[in-house]
């Protein structure tokens, strides 16, 4: 799916939150969206991505972040915020989420 197909709540809570931290992080969530068939799957896969990123070594993070691993505390804070956002989004019934289409 394309990120344009995400609800406003999901787009803001995941994509925009990642963008505020680093474009390379946003790209990772964009790849998750491409590999997802719907918003529910995107949220589940995003949760898994976050858990994976939190376990990565500095060298592994350098591969994702254009050769420069971000400060781990800042990265973890951002990932924790996105996880919180995902949990809040999941509480919103799909029919109550807002879409541009």
pTM of whole model > 0.85?
Answer: yes
Query: What's the rounded Cα separation, in Å, for the pair 15 and 88?
Result: 15
Could you tell me how far CA 6 lies from the centroid of its own chain?
A: 12
- pLDDT digit string (tens) for the chain, length 101 residues: 999 999 999 999 999 999 999 999 999 999 999 999 999 999 999 999 999 999 999 999 999 999 999 999 999 999 999 999 999 999 999 999 999 86
Residue spans per domain, the chain: 3-93
**Residues 53, 78: Cα–Cα separation, whole Å:** 11
């Amino acid at each position: 799916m394309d990120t344009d197909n995400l609800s406003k709540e999901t787009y803001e809570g995941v994509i925009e939150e990642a963008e505020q931290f680093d474009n390379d992080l946003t790209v990772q969530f964009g790849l998750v969206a491409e590999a997802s068939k719907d918003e529910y799957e995107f949220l589940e896969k995003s949760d898994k991505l976050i858990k994976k990123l939190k376990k990565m070594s500095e060298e592994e993070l350098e591969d994702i972040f254009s050769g420069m691993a971000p400060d781990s505390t800042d990265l973890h804070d951002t990932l924790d915020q996105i996880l919180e956002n995902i949990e809040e989004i999941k509480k919103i019934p799909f029919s109550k989420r807002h879409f541009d289409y």
